[in-house]
Amino acid sequence: MTRLAVLAWLGGLAFLALFGALLFGCAGRWDLPWFWAYLGVWAVAMAVATPLVDPGLIRERIRPGPGGQDSAIAYAVIPLWLESSSVGSLRRARIFSANHAAVHIAAGIP
């Protein structure tokens, strides 16, 4: 296994750990099978994709060349995705009532 593959695996594990902490932390409990299934799908996708991706592409994604960074979309989308996941977890924990959900729907937040 190359150094780049190890870095990709470690990055994937760190992502799963942090995202799992967000989901289960917001929900306040561990016994949610759909959350485990969601993390399992991510884990399988990462486990299958890492050996199939060209090492040159992994190298470029870890350290992009000059002018190869278009991070404006990531800076806009990632916070919305994390907010949507945390609100969904909070709803699962029954912290949000129907009134809170109506406010988020009216504001355009899923």
pLDDT digits (tens, 9 = 90+) for 77-105: 888 888 888 877 777 766 555 555 555 66
Report the alpha-carbon distance of residue 40 to residue 48 in Å, rounded. Answer: 12
Residues shown for the chain: 110
Name the band, by pLDDT with cuts 50, 70 and 90, for residue 37: very high
Q: List, for residues 60-78, the tens digit of each pLDDT value.
A: 777 777 776 667 777 788 8
- Give me 70's structure tokens: 């278009």
Tell me what pLDDT residue 68 has: 62
Give the whole-angstrom CA distance, residue 98 versus residue 54. Answer: 47
Higher-confidence position of 60 and 34: 34
User: Are 102 and 93 contacting, i.e. CB atoms less than 8 angstroms apart?
Assistant: no
pLDDT for 44 = 93
Q: Is the pLDDT of residue 109 over 80?
A: no
pLDDT at 11 over 80: yes
